[in-house]
A and B are shown apart, each in its own frame.
Chain A
């Protein structure tokens, strides 16, 4: 059973097959210094490299099919990946500590990407929402925007309002159950990326 929920243009949600294969670098050879010091590093900070040069070099990229590639891999192996982009078979994965500006710097027109996914390592990392909102509003991104990683139904309503239109529910949870959460609230107060604040939407007098 697929774990991917997609919103159609009319807002209708359905569970669909996932056409995209995620390219994931191998695990790092050694633990990060801070982890060795006994601290669990839950969130990467802005500016930290996502993957080491060694990880990037050792990442296997499937020869055919649609692939979702981390931004750092794209940056390092652009020449090899360019034809896939041209063929409409390449999407980018942004980590929550990466910036929309960094993505834009790579693609003159970010709408040349059929899909952008934002990977959230822990559901409690709310940067995903602002990143989504930025891509939609400031950067004018129109294609599929997908939440991946630790994606749980209880955040879906926020994901949706922050501009995401597809959601890869964490593998151990039911996407079927998650559908209902997309409509937890019928008339939100503030605007999201696709709507305006309630006082501009409704006459409340």
Chain B
């Protein structure tokens, strides 16, 4: 992974000093709440329901074991001994003290970490697929460009106070796992006819109050121009994006309002002034950064391992874990492992300090000391030898990190909701927990198969409910909490926004609602059809009929 040089380290150190002084001035009454707000947000600090919330950046989801140990120690020392991985692959602390945050950032800086621009109206953490660099379907590893973009966007002098937050995702695989279409800018890397790295650029996607999938603004962008092109897009947005209404301030609204042709025209006009200028990335710079993302020192291994095969054959629990939590790898004899942060009945994405230490140890022993966080809120050991999988499983299982539910109904994406977040209209974690408990039978889960269930506690859609096969949105009606259900949402190359099936439900009804949706699916599915495909084939009507028929007779 990327390693700081003295310049990177100096920037992060200077940031800590700057923020320490800003916090001091705020606490001394020299800065008002309103003035301090963007400053703290750009350092990851929210003021939340119970306490501040600190969002620590995990650039494109990559962490070293050393960094994770530091995070474990920080959660122990300054928080309540756990952290929460978010859908932007970042780690959130729910209980830090405002006055401790400069010290926390200083500690993070010692392991090349920070909380810069994890919040606020600026360019946020760049995200990608958790299997970047190892996925068998990868065409281009986008991480070097992602790191160059991280640096470009860090304290960008023009884009510190945009109309609204700005999210960029990069993907370099055949199957999109970074949801490029749900981002302000989505960059899809591919090899062009000349075999050169090129980028397809999506713009104006986003979830939230007005979910819109992005539009392709440029089919072919040479990688050298990615910074100048993005700068052109964001300049147009900075000047013309709405600032009078926070709900209409995202770039997607501007793109819709202008139409993609006019928006594109303005971007081209702007880009004409920037293209081939100093922002053009040099081959030298790409090479310098890319060398940090070179393949790991893999051994030459056989494609099969007899002991592993025997363990799978003789141990159904291990076999179940392998089926759900172990993923293909481009190098023979290696696999990627997802450590599930979704044990049934616990808050999705949460991890204790002790578990962080276990994961760091596992990464050191079995995966070159590195790990990744996924937007599905799990952790990944990307480079595990086949022959080590059994040992990894045993240790992960002992630490409660081996629930074999990845990609299944209980691998729920879930925002912190009303338990922690002051924006939320409703709780989301207890809903996730209740659904997980309702579907605690693993055999039944396997029978249901691949299913993505996403829960958000409010319109902001941090839980990505719009793109869940089943999406649940917490809404506030007359001061009480209700839940609206969508089905048919999907991430990936054929992404779609789910359809609301009808009036909302109470919290108590939710596990039953999901159960009835599944009943329709199990009844109607053909052959190996997944839930999402059945919904796409039949539409929402039969699901709606069954869910609300039950409700009326109940």
* Partner of B152 from A99, A190, A202 at Cβ < 8 Å: A190
Q: What is the bound-complex CA distance between A162 and B159, given in angstroms?
A: 10
B152-187: which have CB < 8 Å to A? 152-163
From A16-24, A82-90, A151-159, the one touching the partner chain is: A151-159
- Contact status A187-B278, CB under 8 Å: no
Query: Is A76 on the interface with B (CB-CB < 8 A)?
Result: no
A46 at the interface (CB under 8 A from B): yes
Q: CB within 8 A of A204: which of B11, B158, B288?
A: B288
Residue of B with least CB distance to A138: B273
Contacts of B121 in A (CB 8 A): 124, 126
| CB <8 Å contact, A126 and B288 | no
Report the bound CA distance from A129 to B161 in whole Å: 9
The answer to whether A189 touches B239, judged by C-beta atoms less than 8 angstroms apart, is no
Give the chain B neighbours of A158 by CB distance below 8 A: 155, 157-158, 160
Contact size class for B? Answer: 35 or more
Evaluate whether A190 and B243 lie within 8 angstroms (CB atoms) in the complex, with A154-B22, A202-B7, A204-B5 already known. Answer: no
| Contact, CB under 8 Å: A42 / B244 | yes
**Whole-angstrom CA separation of A186 from B6 in the bound complex:** 12
State which size class the interface on A falls in: 35 or more
As a 0/1 sequence over residues 174 to 202 of chain A, the CB contacts with chain B under 8 angstroms (1 = contact) are 00000001001111111110001111101
- Contact residues of B: prevailing secondary structure: helix
Residue of B nearest to A181 (CB): B18
Asked if B493 is at the interface (CB within 8 A of a chain A CB), the reply is no
Asked if B152 and A189 make an inter-chain contact with CB atoms under 8 angstroms apart, the answer reads yes
Contacts of A58 in B (CB 8 A): none
Chain A interface, DSSP helix/strand/loop, else mixed: loop
Residues of A17-75 at the interface with B, using a CB-CB cut-off of 8 Å, are 41-43, 45-46
Q: Which residues of A contact B158 (CB under 8 A)?
A: 126, 129-130, 133, 158, 162
The reply to whether B243 and A125 form a contact with Cβ atoms under 8 Å apart is yes
Interface-centre pick from B162, B278, B288 (highest chain A CB count, 10 A): B278
Chain B stretch 200-253: residues in CB contact (< 8 A) with chain A:
227, 235, 238-240, 242-244
Give which listed residue, B31, B39, B151, B288, contacts A189 with CB less than 8 A.
B151
- Is the pair B288, A199 in contact by a Cβ cutoff of 8 Å? yes
Q: Is the CB of B35 within 8 A of A198?
A: no
Q: Is the CB of B235 within 8 A of A199?
A: no
Chain A positions within 8 Å of B14 at CB level = 184-186
Contacts of A99 in B (CB 8 A): 239
**Contact A199/B282 with A43-B243, A45-B242 known, Cβ cut-off 8 Å:** yes
Is A161 in contact with chain B by the CB < 8 A criterion? yes
Q: Give every chain A residue within 8 A of B238 (Cβ-Cβ).
A: 126-127, 129-130
Q: A158-B157, A186-B10 are in contact. List 12 more A-B contacts (CB 8 A).
A: A125-B161, A125-B243, A126-B158, A126-B161, A129-B238, A154-B35, A162-B157, A184-B14, A185-B15, A185-B155, A188-B155, A199-B285
What are the 10 closest A-B residue pairs judged by CB atoms, nearest first?
A126-B161, A161-B157, A43-B243, A199-B285, A189-B151, A196-B278, A129-B158, A158-B157, A184-B18, A190-B152
Binding site for A on B (CB under 8 A): 5, 7, 10-11, 14-15, 17-18, 22, 31, 35, 38-39, 121, 151-163, 227, 235, 238-240, 242-244, 273, 278-279, 282, 284-285, 288
